[in-house]
Amino acid sequence: MKSLDPQIKDNIDSWLNGNYDEETKATIRKKLDNEEYQELTDAFYKDLEFGTGGLRGIMGVGSNRVNKYTFGMATQGFSNFLKQHYPNEQIKVVIAHDCRNNSEELAQVVADVFSANGIYVYLFEGLRPTPELSFAIRELNCHGGVMLTASHNPKEYNGYKAYDRHGCQLVAPQDKAVMEEVQKIENINHVSFQGISKNIESIGKEIDEKYLDALMDISLSNEAISRQNDLSIVFSPIHGTSGVLVPPALKRYGFKNVTLVEEQMTYDGDFPTVEYPNPEEKEALTMALNKAKEIDAELVMATDPDADRVGIAIKDHHDEWVLLNGNQTGALIINYVLNAWKEANKLNGDEYIVKTIVTSYLIDAIAEHYGVECYNTLTGFKYIGELMTKLEDEKQFVAGGEESYGYLIGDHVRDKDAIVSSVIIAEMAAYYKDQGTSLFDALLNIYLQHGYYREKLVSVYKRGREGAEEIQKMLKNYRENPPKKLAGSDVTVIKDYKAQVSRNVKTGETQDTDLPVSNVLQFVTEDETMVTVRPSGTEPKIKFYCSVNTELANRTGFDKKTSELEKKMDTIIQELTEEN
């Protein structure tokens, strides 16, 4: 790129001439002098959007970057919303942050802006997990909260998650109302940056204890743990916040043989031991797996930086370590918890579980087997939290989850929780070991009983402004020219969640999807294959979720069936991506 678009140049000039600090201006001038026009274009071509879940982006100077000014404007807009929504109350919020670079300083900026607006702030004294923020909002009877995290994104990213008084990420209509207030903040002169110290209270250990106490009430197999307390577990927080709470939680549950990956116990936003701090990626669990092989462990667990997602590895029927995907772990958790509730005679017909539309429909089959209702929501745990709040006085939430490694057992929070997930996964392993079996055997038993469901997620990255436009063009093409077949099977149903219509291709019959508007497409074939296409809400990519299934007659056929299903999914993804 040899020059700057005039509109982008105007935006840059507004920063150079505005009430921004000299360090920020010097950084911009240096980039101009070095003719870093592509970088400047990406940083200034738009404002960092306050979406339905908040903000997430690359850290740096610019209107489309994460910095104290973009976070300050977001907080001022959120403050204005809270003051309008609760006009006669002393508004209270909780703020927490994870290990991301600059998070501590940005958290103080957010606290200062809230406090300057007369809002009382509970600010965690150090980094804490996302689920603990959700818990603290409810425990301290607050009106909202903010979590500073970019979840599993690369180290260059940071983010801002906004929460309501129920400890749930903002949903309609509040999300849109907050977005409108943020958009009204035209420049930083409308932001109150000067904090009021008496409106900020530091919190920490006391909330940790209450949160850990709440986890103890969720345990389902105390006797199995007491007999199998030497279960060999390897755990890593991948430099993130779960290092604060998972080790003490496992200890409270009674596990005595937990090996920590010490190199990854340091809190570090550069994530020096991994390429990508995402427990979905095998590379991120390499050190934990190496440790497990070294000590002959039985279970490996690792969480993402803000501790709302957990990945696990177990030994398979060949005694080889395998990483379970989010659907497999979710199915194990739901099956284990529902079975435990059944054995304890706790199922009375009012219980329910929740998952997202891109999460394995094996879980629906498991729920049906136990006579428990299974709700499906749009992608995003906030929709699960929203439903929990809606049904709080009518039904009993048991557990929920999504394929992206986020689960919740119990109703102590309104977000996915890798802390409770870790202790329940460990408890599951102890329970099955106590029965002389294993987690992998339990998974095979689920497949034998309900069918072998296998899923794959493929993401196609499209970076920058041109990439965003290309993603929208791809989705437009899928709507106008949907596939007629996938891997040789006729497409029979097309669900367009943007139009909120599900259409039977053969009969032309339509029905409402009964979910909020979302830019998502689903294609269902005659052989019950399902493919979901959606743009990521947090990264510059388009996602393809592929789900196939078949009967599994016996354990010996597992490897062959796996190979067949994998080939089928590869074919489907190739067909879809080659057309676009």
Positions marked active-site: 151
For 413, residues 6+ apart whose C-beta sits below 8 A from its C-beta are: 131, 134, 135, 138, 167
What separation, in Å, do the N-terminal and C-terminal C-alpha atoms of the chain show? 26
CA distance 211 to 412: 8
Structure tokens at 411: 């109703």
CA distance 371 to 374: 9
Secondary structure (3-state) at 54: strand
Q: Where are the alpha helices (DSSP H) in 375-516?
A: 381-390, 418-434, 439-450, 464-480
Give the start-end residues of each E strand in 37-179. 54-58, 92-97, 120-124, 144-148, 157-163
- Which whole-number Å values give the CA distances from 350 to 161, 347, 414, in the listed order? 32, 7, 19
Helix count (H) and strand count (E) of the chain?
Answer: 18, 23
- Which whole-number Å values give the CA distances from 21 to 25, 69, 114, 476, 501, in the listed order? 7, 10, 21, 42, 50
Structure tokens at 46: 């738009």
The residue type of 19 is N
Structure tokens at 189: 């002169």
The residue type of 2 is K
Q: What are phi and psi of 398, to 5 degrees?
A: -105, -55
CA distance 220 to 117: 45
Report the C-alpha dihedral over residues 236, 361, 214, 247, rounded to 10 degrees. -10
